[in-house]
Each structure stands twice: as structure tokens, then as C-alpha cells.
């Protein structure tokens, strides 16, 4: 029977046609010590037990190896799976998306069956995670400006410091909600096989409880990063969307992107080490991983997107387009105003402009409640789109203060449209579309006459379709990224 052999930095693998046998090397590294027989036996048993959680029919058993009646080693035996069914081998084929969806379901089901871990671990808190980031920065510093662009290196560090500086509450909340669990720890497309009867997910991070026990988002983030690298951002977003669907939970997108960035940064560090050892193309791979990390750190930043403009300018449509494309929460002043007044959203209230539920006091209460709810979302790690007229400079200041308090980027957008067209749209909307807006043509003139200048806003021409405006505006929103320095 032919036997193939290969090695990793910590193990030796022997392949027969239907089996894989694994031995651990008697070595010590910075993160494990397998020099003694007892240590190797314990480690291989642990690997067997942990991996059977996701692939019980692949991990077949551990066999002690004896010499002269004395145990000298231990061998893990696995079922050999077809190479062509690795997830990485399916990239670019028509099978990839169905396979990826099946993998997302398997991981979500796996996570759902795990007990929450209440004791803090390095990956689950801001201090420990910051230490891990800083360790990577220190190891990569010598290649700043050579392998890695200096500006990109500095931006990554700034974004990490800023995000984690504002996130302790979110990390505590995630642990309190039970999302820290003993997961896989090393999800990669190369170690996932998609068979006819479902995925088999292999090779978890058995040797480090500290790194394996993490937020479920940190766990799935490893595979999201790998899929982004292999198949692009759209495929990575589909994976995350399916995972969210199967968990039945709306996880904070900012935290997911931060964890993806961390996973990519670690891979960049590994490739830099390989580059130093003379491996061809490792520098190019390091740069690609580093840029992937930067991309996700930009996406991880919290945003407060203020979408304003008079009635009929398309601000609500634009706000919802941005929210849908970016996956951010949309809060609408028309609905909040009616909630405060105890009125159904689709019930029209026709009063003179500036009176009744549209008087100054009610309007001020509406904006304060809008900003308050925005703060709740930001505390939970969600970016927000705040849809209102934003006619008053004082109310815009509330939004700016909200962003500053949470280390979020403030993006101000003002929908602009000639008054006659705005009035025409208002009339058409009242006739054809049930909405929470009570605007009438006379309200268009009333608010325009009282609108404070808004020089800090980006003007959005909505004279064509609002969907067209959204396509160009969303790029502005993504790339409007500044570093907020936390005040001590």
C-alpha cells in the first residue's frame, strides 16, 4: 500500500488511500510544548476530542505507539477525504455558493450548540485583543515602509487603537449575552470539505484554549477573511449574511469587520516572516493581507450618517438605500415623532406647519429621541443612518456630539431638489404611497424658509432617481473615514 508523507511545523502526516495518520513532533515553540510523550499523548487526545465536535466520522481514534512495552508516542487516525471537495477547490465553480451556504449553516449550528464561556479570554476582551494587535505591530515594524506601505501600516494601527478605545462596553455586552464560546479557532477554506451529505470542518485550534475560546464572530471571521481573499468581498458578505440568517441573530457588523481585519493582519505577519526567510512571493501576499485588513478596519468604523433635506427631496428613500447597502440601522424622525405622539405611523396628521405635533417643543423632543436611539445602536456596535429634515443647526450639533462620544465618523448628506419638483413628489407620495410623512406642499415652503445653512454637508442631487444618487453616495460614505482620538 503506497504511503505519502508530509510535514507541518508541528506534525508529521502519513497518507494511505483511505486514511491519514498524524504524529506530533517532539518540539517546543512559543505556544506549545510537545517534547514529552505525556504531552504529545494529551495533545493528540485533545485534538481528537475537539475535532469530533464537527467531524465525528472523520476523526477515528488515537492509537498509543509502544516500544518494549512502553508507550513512546501516539497517533491520530483520520478518514481521508477527497481533495477535490475542499472548499478552496470549489472557488470559481458553480458549486461554490451552495457549498458556502452549507458551511455557513454548519458553523451556525455548531456555535448554537456550544455553552457560553463566562471567564474572560484574550480574544474576547479589548485589553487582550489590543495586546495581540500590538504584538503583531511590533513584529512587523521592521518591514514598515518596505514590505508594507508606511501610510497603510500607520492607518491600520490608528484604526485599531481608535476602535478598541471606544469598544469596551461592546465587548462586555457580547460576553454578557453569551456569545463567547469554545469554537473552532482556525476556520480556513483548505480545511473544510463539502461532501454530498454535508460539510466536514477539520483541524480546529486544539493546542490553545485561550485563542480558540472567543466571540463567535471572531470564529466565523477567520473563514470570512479567507473567502474574501479567495473569492472577493461579495462572496465574503454572502457568507456572513448566511451565517447571520442561520444564527437568527443580528450581530454587530462593526465587530465582525474588526475581527476579520485581525485575522487578515495575523496572516500578513506570517507572510512577512516567510518573506524574511526568503520565500518567493511572500511579500506580495503580506501586502494583500494587510490591505484586506485595512479594508475591513475601514468598514468596522462606526458611522453616524445624517441624511437631511426638505420634504419631497428623497431623503428617506436615500437613507434606506444606504442602510440596505451598508447593513446599517435606519432611524426615521417621522416614525419617532408619531411614536412620541401615540399615533400610528401611516395615520396622516394634517395640522398647520409649526403647530400641534409639529411645534417647536415636539420637534426638539423628536430629534433628541432620534439621537438617543442612535446612541443605543452605537453602543451595540451598529452604525446608524439618521433620517430627518435636519433644518436646525442646533439639532445637527446633537448628531455631531453623538458621533464624537462614540468615536464614530460623522457623514452629513443634504438632499437637494428644486422646490417645484419637491412639491410635485410630495403630492404624488400622499396619493400613491402610504408613508409616515405628513408633508404637504405648504410644508415644503415653510421648512425652506426656516432652514439654517448647512455648509458641512455633502450635497446630494436627487433630481434623477434616488437609487442613482444612492449608488454614488454610498462610496462617499464608505471612504469618509477619519480617526477620532479618544480624549483621556
Same domain? 110 vs 60: no
- Structure confidence at residue 55 (pLDDT): 98
- Structure confidence at residue 8 (pLDDT): 87
Residues whose CB falls within 8 Å of the CB of residue 297, separated by 6 or more in sequence, listed in order: 155, 156, 159, 160, 163, 257, 258, 261
Q: How many domains does the chain have?
A: 3
Same domain? 455 vs 387: yes
Q: How confident is the model at residue 485 (pLDDT cuts 50, 70, 90)?
A: very low
Domain final residue, candidates 79, 110, 139: 79
In a domain, 264, yes or no: yes
Same domain? 68 vs 12: yes
* 108: nearest Cα among 253, 186, 199, 220: 220
Average pLDDT, integer, range 437-463: 86
**What Å distances lie between residue 187 and 77, 193, 220, 274, 424, CA to CA?**
21, 12, 7, 21, 54
Query: Measured in Å, how far apart are the chain's first and last C-alpha atoms?
Result: 68
CATH code at position 448: 3.40.50.300
Same domain? 53 vs 184: no
| Residue 130 reports pLDDT greater than 70 | yes
| Residue 440 reports pLDDT greater than 80 | no
In a domain, 486, yes or no: no
In a domain, 487, yes or no: no
* 251: nearest Cα among 236, 261, 260, 241: 241
Average pLDDT, integer, range 196-216: 95
Question: What is the C-alpha separation between 42 and 39, in angstroms, rounded?
Answer: 5
pLDDT digits (tens, 9 = 90+) for 8-43: 889 999 999 999 999 999 999 878 899 999 999 999
Dihedral angle of Cα 111, 113, 117, 118, to the nearest 10 degrees:
110
- Structure confidence at residue 1 (pLDDT): 65
Domain final residue, candidates 49, 79, 109: 79
Contact between 391 and 450 under an 8 Å Cβ cutoff? The reply is: yes
Helix and strand numbers (H, E) in the chain are 18, 14
Residue predicted with more confidence, 231 or 488: 231
pLDDT digits (tens, 9 = 90+) for 73-86: 999 999 999 999 99
Same domain? 104 vs 172: yes
pLDDT digits (tens, 9 = 90+) for 57-106: 999 999 999 888 889 999 999 999 999 999 999 999 999 999 999 999 99
Burial of 428 (0-12, 13-18, 19+ CB in 10 A): exposed
Q: How confident is the model at residue 483 (pLDDT cuts 50, 70, 90)?
A: very low
In a domain, 432, yes or no: yes
Domain final residue, candidates 300, 335, 355: 300
CATH code at position 136: 3.90.1200.10
Question: What is the C-alpha separation between 473 and 468, in angstroms, rounded?
Answer: 9
| Residue 177 reports pLDDT greater than 90 | yes
Residue 193, strand partner residues: 86, 200
Residue 65, strand partner residues: 73
Same domain? 248 vs 316: no
| Grid coordinates belonging to 279 | 520565500
In a domain, 435, yes or no: yes
| Residue 240 reports pLDDT greater than 90 | yes
Same domain? 261 vs 382: no
Same domain? 324 vs 208: no
Domain containing residue 458: 303-479
- Structure confidence at residue 484 (pLDDT): 38
Same domain? 193 vs 307: no
In a domain, 257, yes or no: yes
Categorise residue 339: left if φ over 0, alpha if ψ from -120 to 50, beta otherwise. Answer: alpha
| Grid coordinates belonging to 113 | 450548540
- Structure confidence at residue 438 (pLDDT): 63
How many CB atoms lie under 10 A from the CB of residue 430?
17
Residues whose CB falls within 8 Å of the CB of residue 119, separated by 6 or more in sequence, listed in order: none
Residues whose CB falls within 8 Å of the CB of residue 426, separated by 6 or more in sequence, listed in order: 311, 312, 439, 440, 441, 443, 444
Same domain? 441 vs 325: yes
Average pLDDT, integer, range 225-241: 97
Contact between 304 and 386 under an 8 Å Cβ cutoff? The reply is: yes
Question: What is the C-alpha separation between 389 and 402, in angstroms, rounded?
Answer: 17
Same domain? 342 vs 434: yes
Question: What is the C-alpha separation between 140 and 135, in angstroms, rounded?
Answer: 9
Residues whose CB falls within 8 Å of the CB of residue 422, separated by 6 or more in sequence, listed in order: 310, 311, 312, 313, 444
pLDDT digits (tens, 9 = 90+) for 354-406: 777 778 999 999 999 999 999 999 999 999 999 999 999 999 999 999 999 99
- Helix (H) or strand (E) holding 388, with range, is none
Pairing of strands 409-416, 458-461: parallel
For 35-100, what is the HEC assignment?
CCHHHHHHHHHHHHHHHCCCCCCCEEEEEEEEECCEEEEEEEEEECCCHHHEHHHHCCCCCHHHHH
Contact between 362 and 450 under an 8 Å Cβ cutoff? The reply is: no
Same domain? 96 vs 164: yes
| Grid coordinates belonging to 400 | 455631531
Amino acid at each position: 500500500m503506497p504511503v505519502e508523507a508530509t510535514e507541518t511545523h508541528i506534525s508529521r502526516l502519513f497518507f494511505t488511500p483511505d486514511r491519514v495518520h498524524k504524529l506530533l513532533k517532539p518540539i517546543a515553540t512559543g505556544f506549545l510544548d510537545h517534547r514529552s510523550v505525556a504531552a504529545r499523548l494529551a495533545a493528540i487526545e485533545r485534538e481528537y476530542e475537539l475535532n469530533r465536535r464537527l467531524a465525528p466520522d472523520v476523526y477515528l481514534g488515537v492509537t498509543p505507539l509502544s516500544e518494549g512495552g512502553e508507550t513512546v508516542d501516539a497517533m491520530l487516525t483520520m478518514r481521508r477525504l477527497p481533495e477535490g471537495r475542499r472548499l478552496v477547490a470549489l472557488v470559481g465553480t458553480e458549486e461554490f455558493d451552495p457549498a458556502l451556504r452549507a458551511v455557513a449553516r454548519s458553523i451556525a449550528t455548531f456555535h448554537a450548540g456550544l455553552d457560553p464561556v463566562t471567564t474572560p479570554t484574550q480574544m474576547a476582551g479589548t485589553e487582550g485583543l489590543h495586546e495581540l494587535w500590538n504584538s503583531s505591530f511590533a513584529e512587523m515594524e521592521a518591514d514598515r515602509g518596505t514590505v508594507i506601505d508606511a501610510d497603510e501600516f500607520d492607518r491600520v494601527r490608528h484604526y485599531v487603537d481608535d476602535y478598541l478605545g471606544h469598544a469596551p462596553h461592546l465587548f462586555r455586552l457580547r460576553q454578557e449575552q453569551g456569545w463567547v464560546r469554545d469554537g473552532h479557532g482556525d476556520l480556513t477554506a483548505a480545511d473544510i470539505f463539502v461532501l454530498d451529505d454535508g460539510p466536514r470542518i477539520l483541524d480546529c485550534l486544539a493546542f490553545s484554549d485561550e485563542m480558540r475560546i472567543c466571540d463567535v464572530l471572531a470564529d466565523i471571521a477567520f473563514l470570512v477573511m479567507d473567502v474574501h481573499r479567495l473569492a472577493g468581498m461579495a462572496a465574503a458578505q454572502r457568507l456572513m449574511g448566511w451565517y447571520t440568517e442561520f444564527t437568527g441573530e443580528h450581530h454587530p457588523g462593526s465587530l465582525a469587520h474588526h475581527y476579520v481585519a485581525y485575522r487578515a493582519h495575523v496572516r500578513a505577519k506570517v507572510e512577512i516572516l516567510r518573506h524574511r526567510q526568503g520565500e518567493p512571493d511572500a511579500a506580495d501576499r503580506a501586502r494583500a493581507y494587510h490591505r484586506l485588513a485595512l479594508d475591513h478596519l475601514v468598514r468596522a468604523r462606526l458611522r453616524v450618517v445624517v441624511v437631511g433635506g426638505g420634504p419631497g427631496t428623497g431623503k428617506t428613500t436615500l437613507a434606506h438605500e444606504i442602510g440596505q447597502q451598508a447593513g446599517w440601522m435606519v432611524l426615521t424622525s417621522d416614525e419617532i415623532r408619531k411614536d412620541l405622539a401615540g399615533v400610528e405611523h401611516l395615520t396622516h396628521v394634517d395640522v398647520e406647519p409649526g403647530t400641534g405635533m409639529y411645534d417647536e417643543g415636539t420637534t426638539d423632543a423628536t430629534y433628541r429621541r432620534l439621537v438617543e436611539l442612535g446612541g443605543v445602536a452605537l453602543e451595540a456596535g451598529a452604525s446608524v443612518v439618521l433620517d430627518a429634515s435636519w433644518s436646525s443647526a442646533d439639532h445637527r450639533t446633537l448628531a455631531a456630539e453623538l458621533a464624537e462620544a462614540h468615536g464614530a465618523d460623522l457623514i452629513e448628506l443634504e438632499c437637494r431638489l428644486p422646490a417645484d419638483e419637491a412639491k410635485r413628489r410630495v403630492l404624488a407620495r400622499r396619493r400613491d404611497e402610504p408613508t409616515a410623512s405628513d408633508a404637504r406642499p405648504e410644508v415644503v415652503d415653510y421648512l425652506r424658509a426656516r432652514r439654517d445653512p448647512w455648509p458641512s454637508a455633502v450635497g446630494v442631487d436627487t433630481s434623477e432617481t434616488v437609487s442613482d444618487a444612492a449608488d454614488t453616495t454610498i462610496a462617499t460614505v464608505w471612504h469618509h473615514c477619519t480617526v477620532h482620538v479618544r480624549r483621556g
